[in-house]
Amino acid sequence: MPEIQFLFKKLFVILFAVFLSTNSIAQAKKKTEVFRPISMSPFSDSSHHWYDIHDDSNIVNPVVNQPIYKETEITKIADNILIFQRNNGGWPKNYDMQAILTIKQVDSLVRTKNKLNTTFDNSTTYTHIKYLAQVYTITKIEKYRDACLKGINFTISAQFPNGGWPQYFPLENNYSRRITFNDGAYCGIMEMLKKIIENDPDFSFIGNEVREKIKLVFEKGLDCILKTQIVDNGRLTAWCQQHDEIDLKPAWARAYEPPSICNGESALVVLLLMSIDNPGERIINSVQSAVKWFNDSKIYNTKVETVSAPPEKSQWKTTTYDRVVVFDSLAPPIWTRYYELGTEKPLFCDRNSKFLYSMAEVSRERRSGYGWYTYAPQEVLDKYPKWQKKWSPDKR
């Protein structure tokens, strides 16, 4: 009997040793597992602001030579995204999700989880949601799925009853409460929702009930896009960078961002509409009207050059360059950022909100620090013939 007990104990020790060995190998394998990289380019605008534009209102600012994770370290980057996510499900803007944060930085972020300055500006929130969805799809780690769903619920709750989205949510008492096409905020949200309703593999974990709810949210978003398209001089044209959240009319944002027809943002809107399968008559008419506007508002023989200039200090920055408009008979078509409502003239503006009609009239600080011209509509014009042939062959 003692011999049998001895054999059982010996067997147990051997099996336990095998278990520990196997577990150690598994843990070592897990630690050295290399994931395929996920591009961080969607976060580049926020990262640029964090490193290059000091802002005292930031919760944390970068340390000198702040190290960053490799794009293959997707779980560490995703953990950063969870740290930055606020308790309401959204994210603040202008931070680097790739940064290897210090203990002090992490502590500061965790202590401000209840702050509500959450936004879609500068490619925020919808990019975080998409990243978390990709990481969960690869790793099946549930905390990333849960945070992703929390972000989706935040996005749904931020939608106005009329279908639009503000720049910031909860709403603030300034221009950020306007329906915002600026910097691709609205289209970024819609493209993310479109992936979900079209069963994109990265969002396959979302159930049918939630997907149907998101489909209704997307349809409301489309309806708002069609309702905000500007009728000027009796014809349907394009969109403003921001629209009033109540009456849907073009609205002011910052002092140099006037109510106007805005071709850069409008190009993104039209590309979104052109990506929809089996578009109805309203969408077809919307796209074709915008394309007509883009053709009519082309500017020829013109390009913008950046030139060296003596240092000039302003309240906001010191510039050592300037931007000038020059004649060039070989230049491709270009468009101004703004066109005046009513006259449809190229429009410029300054920090005093005065309407100007050439870039040369704008102060150097705003002239060199803002994008007054754009080539964005050309992508629409290049893609339009194929779209038109497919969806509206009898109408141009």
Q: What is the pLDDT of residues 90-147, one digit of tens each?
A: 999 999 999 999 999 999 999 999 999 999 999 999 999 999 999 999 999 999 999 9
- Residue 123: strand, helix, or coil: coil
Strands 179-180 vs 373-374: parallel, antiparallel or unpaired: unpaired
CB 44 within 8 A of CB 122: no
What is the chain's Cα-based Rg?
Answer: 26
Q: What is the pLDDT of residue 306?
A: 96
d(CA 381, CA 44): 27
Whether 181 and 190 have beta carbons less than 8 Å apart is answered as no
- Whether residue 120 contacts residue 160, with contact meaning beta carbons closer than 8 Å, is answered with no
- Judged against a pLDDT cut of 60, whether residue 30 lies above it is answered with no
Question: What is the pLDDT at residue 34?
Answer: 79
The whole-number pLDDT of residue 394 equals 86
Hey, what CATH class is 36-228 in?
A: mainly alpha
Q: Name the pairing type of β-strands 346-349 and 355-356.
A: antiparallel
CATH 1.50.10.20, the chain: domain bounds? 36-228
Q: What is the mean pLDDT of the chain?
A: 92
- The yes-or-no verdict on residue 17 having pLDDT over 70 is no
Is a pLDDT exceeding 90 seen at residue 148?
A: yes
What stretch of H or E contains 335?
strand 335-336
| 166-199 confidence digits (pLDDT tens) | 999 999 999 999 999 999 999 999 999 999 999 9
What is the reported pLDDT for 134? 98
- Tens digits of residue pLDDT in 365-390: 999 999 999 999 999 999 999 999 99
CB atoms within 10 A of CB 382: 9
Torsion over CA of 38, 41, 42 and 48, rounded to 10 degrees? Answer: 140
When pLDDT is averaged across residues 249-270 and rounded to a whole number, the result is 98
Could you tell me the two tokens for 6? Answer: 């001895």
Distances (CA, A) of 164 to 2, 82, 159, 254, 313: 79, 26, 6, 19, 39
- How deeply is 291 buried, as exposed, middle or buried, from its count of CB atoms within 10 A (0-12, 13-18, 19+)? buried
Whole-number pLDDT of residue 79: 98
Count of alpha carbons within 13 angstroms of residue 89, beta-carbon side:
17
Quick one: pLDDT at residue 181? 98
Q: For 309-345, what is each residue's pLDDT tens digit?
A: 999 988 877 889 999 999 999 999 999 999 999 999 9
pLDDT confidence of 7, banded at 50, 70, 90?
Answer: very low
Q: Are 256 and 182 spatial neighbours (Cβ–Cβ below 8 Å)?
A: no
Q: Tokens in use for 297?
A: 């508002």
The answer to whether 8 touches 16, Cβ cutoff 8 Å, is: no
- Report whether 302 contacts 331 (CB < 8 A): yes
Structure tokens, 132? 């978390």
Look at residue 5 and tell me whether its pLDDT is greater than 60.
no
| Average pLDDT, integer, range 55-71 | 94
| Mean pLDDT, residues 68-84 | 97
pTM, two decimal places: 0.89
Whether residue 27 has pLDDT greater than 80: no
Model confidence at 3, pLDDT cuts 50, 70, 90, reads: low
8 Å CB contact between 147 and 82: yes
Percent of the chain surpassing pLDDT 90 = 87
Task: Label residue 54 by pLDDT band (50, 70, 90).
Answer: confident
Separation between Cα atoms, residue 75 and residue 137, nearest integer Å: 12
* 277: nearest Cα among 332, 198, 208, 349: 198
CB 274 within 8 A of CB 383: yes
pLDDT at 13: 39
CA distance 394 to 385: 12
Percentage of residues of the chain with pLDDT beyond 70: 92
Average pLDDT on 198-210 reads 96
**DSSP summary character for residue 372:** -
